[in-house]
Structure 1
Amino acid sequence: MQETSSLKRKTISGLFWSFADLVANQGIQFILQIILARLLLPEHFGLIAMIAIFIAISNSIIDSGFTQGLIREKDANQEDYSTAFYFNLFMAFVMYIVIFILADTISAFFGEDQLVPILKVLSLVLIFNSFGIIQRVLLIKKVDFRTQTKINIISGIISGIVGIIFALKGYGVWSLVVKTLLMQLIQSLLLCFFIKWIPSFVFNVNSFKRLFGFGSKLLVSGLIDTIYNNIYFIIIGRVFSTAQLGYYTNAVKLRDITSQSITASVQRVTYPVLSGMQEDGERLKHGFRKIIKTSAFINFPIMLGLAAIANPLIHLFYGDKWTSSILYFQLLCVAGMLYPLHAINLNILQVKGRSDLFLLLEIIKKSVLTVFIILSLWFQLGIIGLIWAAILNSFVSLFINTYFSAKEISYALKEQITDLVPIFVMTIFMVGVVSLSGMILPEGNVIKLVSQISIGIVIYVVVSKLAKIEELITIYGLFVPLFKRMKQKLSQ
């Protein structure tokens, strides 16, 4: 009983600080993104997007699934951590050299000579990041997201200010390069400062084999996922203009500030927590079901609500030169609505040690997406057609993920869908009201935006209360006591 109570407190605290990280860090990133979008051109963001996939693939190879393996292991020791650290650091230098050598080839592929120096400098983030990987693992295992929140806020503010200064001085795309590099460097330095962990001079072959045995399958699935998450940047950058890629990139970033951040917030808390329940099937199912419903209750209205207010939102914050990204953003929000559900279902497979099934599902889902992308390009449906392919794949992937995760915890696909339908229906009703209000409200982006957001929140809360949706009580029970506790501490 005491263990359950302790786990609950740890989960609540982790969710709160993870949410605080979401609000504070992503709020800061959003403000910085607004300023940089107004100072820079779509082409500048397009150039950075062209090389994003190469940095992302390198990070997956560097990690090689060791992070998830260490988090999952209850009895990981100093030798395990040191072995993972040295492997990650070695691979970081290897990948940096590979990108450095291939810089000219990558630049020629996109037809952008500017990419050569950008690639050679920006890929230094791989080395910076490798110095803080183990410290992040230790924080996640402790469900200590308070420290991560502090680190992300400090690094975000400092790097953002420097990036803005560079943009004001006319450095263009290099302001984004400097911002990214400085942010990762500061994060790694602060992780080393807050987490007093030093690697031992040891590389345990048995530890490596064990961790790589589990992580290798996650590595392959992670690589597949990373490639496909960034494949649109390659396709759009190769087939369409750099400016169009810039419009798409900022639409994705605006969507990800909410969707991917909520997904990461939920995933990084639920994985270690669910791992602690892996031996108790009934308890695991109950916790999983509650997390699924609560995540949908939060993410559905946020994502579809953002799609409903996209017009005044982008015009107000980014300016008229970003009008072309509005439709991209609206469609991307529809796809992003399901991301937290994907992550939680896949967490169950990792908790159960089914990295083999994890890999198989990635291959199946990406094969489906490949078909959708080929059809979109074949029929020349443009960027809109590519985004619709992503939406269709998101829904198909949810069915695939839930079908297989259900077998691991006896939470049937039909049962999961039944739990989510009421939340989805409420969300559609709220979005309909918000969209209609946008047609009636007077012109003026500020008034319209504030009014639509207010209407959406009121409608959703009232309908939830009338429908007696238990997730409303769950959210209230999670956050109100914590806010009261923080208020008391601040007043002392």
Structure 2
Amino acid sequence: MNQSFDTATIVPGPAYHPHMRAGRSRSAVVGVLWSSLHTAIPIIGSTLIFYVSALYLSPADLGLFGLASSLVMTAIAVSPVAFGEALVQRKTISKSNADSVFWMTMAVGLVLMTSVLLAAPSIARWAGESAISTLLPVLGLRIPLEMSVAVPNAMIVRSMKFKLVALRTSVATTVSLVITLTLLWAGYGYWALVISQLSSSLVICVMVFWTSGWRPGLSFDLCALRELTGYGLYASGTRMLTTMRLDHIILGALGGTAMLGFYFFAQKLYLMLTQFVGGALSSVTHALLSSLQEDQEKTTRAFFIASFSAAAVSLPMFSLLLVLTPDIVALLFDPQWQGAGFTLQMFCVIGCLAGISVVQGAFIRSQGKANWWFFYQLIQQATSLLVIALTFSAGLKTLMVVFTLKSLLVWPISVIMTARLLGIGFFTYLSVLVTPAVTTLAMLAAVLAAPHLTPDLSPVASLAARIAIAVVTYLTVLGLIAKDRITEIFHLVLSGRRQAT
């Protein structure tokens, strides 16, 4: 599986040759199918881990783990690991580009890991949690592992070999799941989650190098690295803003680990569902649209298909969860987690737009405007931290109401940026969301009417009936009013499968 590289340039895979761009949409749909598997597998594993953890851990324990892992994630976030994304965005790259990015990220990773180890005692005293000084050195071992996969993972995405990504994810998720559940049942508490994260990073590192076939050379060229700097710095900045968990750190330090535990619980569910919607589309959309930069018509068509698909999943999924959250939390989780219900509902409101935002971000970055998306994420993150700092003393409910309103008010900025790059009007772009929105409203009407139609059912049967009614109603209405769009996507899937075989 080793890739051969020319000394001057890495020849892009077949999907990147200009004369083959006519089939890019079909190839991308196949990529979405494999990427969906890559996304669904860790979500299933994370859901099981999350549910069992909620049975064994208290909100304070989960908050403590969340605080420690957030500190490590913040260290990873400030690294230049997103320079791997710059390798995907460029039409052609040299061997020196890839080697230089690898050694740069590894060097930064080792420096960050050492810094976390040395700072652990001081951070523990600052946070008022002595256990942090023990947790951080172990979790910090993830940092160089995460840095090492930036380039080989970029090679996989660049060639759109999403089947290999799904294989890698399957193995890593299985290992992490077995370790976590075993340690939880053995009574190791939050240490089960710590060991799980470390083992998952290790397995992913091994699998990525194996499946990509890429191996680093010994060269390091500042000029080759400088070629990627314009895009790479802003991509790294964007990744920093979206992956660093300063909200956890500030809330944990100001509000305590119990409040953070409820917030972490609700946000974890929200992020798993967001990943389910956007994870499958993000990398594929970015790779596809990067290759279509010079063809405005195909770019617009591919973007609208991706946006419709994201909205058609995120709007009904988060809307349904918003309505059913009280019943779901009461039936599936320990009573100690009831305090997280309202927080989860507020995240659901934000989640209705989350999948759409993922596609927006992939499109804007693919057009070489990583700086635009960086500043948008900067506004979102800065205002989020401000809201937490100003409202934590009023309680988690007040904090989440203000947090949600802030997120909704800032979102139109991303719509304006997207519409400008597409060369269309603000409302013309939003028109792609009308059909999923109308269908979602029809679904909610049916779900809200369901308890009156089946008043004698048990809580479990009532919940199952409402979910079934929601699915049937949504699919039926969507099939009636979006027949042409669904037919178009269906044809792309079929032709993409034939092309793949």
TM superposition score normalised by structure 1? 0.91
Structure 1 window deviating more from structure 2 (292-301 vs 57-66): it is 57-66
Partner Cα separation in structure 1 for residue 333 and residue 157 of structure 2: 34
Partner Cα separation in structure 2 for residue 4 and residue 337 of structure 1: 32
* Within-5 A mapping of 1:405-484: 405-438=418-451, 440-442=454-456, 444-468=458-482, 470-474=484-488, 476-477=490-491
Partner Cα separation in structure 2 for residue 298 and residue 415 of structure 1: 21
Q: Show the counterpart of 2:397.
A: 384
1:142-184 residue CA offsets vs partner (Å, 9 max, x unmatched)? 2222111121121111121111211122211111101111111
Question: What letter matches 1:167 in structure 2?
Answer: L
Partner Cα separation in structure 1 for residue 318 and residue 352 of structure 2: 5
Structure 1 window deviating more from structure 2 (74-83 vs 48-57): it is 48-57
Q: Pick closer, same or farther for the CA change 1:19–1:225 going to 2, 3 Å.
A: closer
Q: Is the 8 A contact 1:71 1:141 kept in 2?
A: yes
* Within-5 A mapping of 1:162-177: 162-177=179-194
Q: Pick closer, same or farther for the CA change 1:360–1:159 going to 2, 3 Å.
A: closer
Partner Cα separation in structure 2 for residue 107 and residue 441 of structure 1: 52
Q: Does 1:348 align with 2:359?
A: no
Q: Is the 8 A contact 1:267 1:340 kept in 2?
A: no
Q: Is the 8 A contact 1:294 1:474 kept in 2?
A: no
Question: What letter matches 2:418 in structure 1?
Answer: S
> Residue 374 of structure 1: CA displacement?
5.4
Q: Show the counterpart of 1:256.
A: 271
Q: Is the 8 A contact 2:79 2:236 kept in 1?
A: no
Q: Show the counterpart of 2:334.
A: 319
* Within-5 A mapping of 1:269-308: 269-308=284-323
Q: Which one of 278, 281, 287 corresponds to residue 266 of structure 1?
A: 281
> Residue 91 of structure 1: CA displacement?
0.7
Q: Show the counterpart of 1:204.
A: 221
> Residue 317 of structure 1: CA displacement?
3.2
What percentage of residue pairs aligned between the two structures are identical?
Answer: 20
Partner Cα separation in structure 2 for residue 29 and residue 475 of structure 1: 29
Q: Show the counterpart of 2:14.
A: none
Structure 2: give runs of 5+ residues left out of the alignment: 1-17
Q: Pick closer, same or farther for the CA change 1:127–1:468 going to 2, 3 Å.
A: closer
Partner Cα separation in structure 2 for residue 339 and residue 75 of structure 1: 31
Q: Pick closer, same or farther for the CA change 1:2–1:312 going to 2, 3 Å.
A: farther
Partner Cα separation in structure 2 for residue 347 and residue 216 of structure 1: 16
Q: Pick closer, same or farther for the CA change 1:166–1:64 going to 2, 3 Å.
A: closer
Q: Pick closer, same or farther for the CA change 1:367–1:324 going to 2, 3 Å.
A: closer
* Within-5 A mapping of 1:99-138: 99-138=116-155
Q: Pick closer, same or farther for the CA change 1:32–1:445 going to 2, 3 Å.
A: farther
TM superposition score normalised by structure 2? 0.89
Partner Cα separation in structure 2 for residue 482 and residue 308 of structure 1: 37
Q: Pick closer, same or farther for the CA change 1:80–1:223 going to 2, 3 Å.
A: same
Partner Cα separation in structure 1 for residue 207 and residue 239 of structure 2: 27
Q: Which one of 386, 389, 411 corresponds to residue 398 of structure 1?
A: 411
Q: Is the 8 A contact 2:40 2:276 kept in 1?
A: no
Q: Is the 8 A contact 2:87 2:154 kept in 1?
A: yes
Partner Cα separation in structure 2 for residue 305 and residue 481 of structure 1: 33
Q: Is the 8 A contact 1:159 1:182 kept in 2?
A: yes
Structure 1 window deviating more from structure 2 (256-265 vs 276-285): it is 256-265
Q: Is the 8 A contact 1:50 1:237 kept in 2?
A: yes
Query: How many aligned positions are there?
Result: 483
Structure 1: give runs of 5+ residues left out of the alignment: none
1:404-430 residue CA offsets vs partner (Å, 9 max, x unmatched)? 222222132111122213321321331
Structure 1 window deviating more from structure 2 (419-428 vs 143-152): it is 419-428
Q: Show the counterpart of 2:375.
A: 360
Q: Is the 8 A contact 1:342 1:397 kept in 2?
A: no
> What's the RMSD between the two structures over aligned residues?
2.6
Partner Cα separation in structure 1 for residue 269 and residue 37 of structure 2: 18
Q: Is the 8 A contact 2:283 2:362 kept in 1?
A: no
Question: What letter matches 2:396 in structure 1?
Answer: I
Partner Cα separation in structure 2 for residue 278 and residue 307 of structure 1: 38
Q: Is the 8 A contact 1:46 1:244 kept in 2?
A: yes
Q: Does 1:190 align with 2:207?
A: yes
Question: What letter matches 1:120 in structure 2?
Answer: P
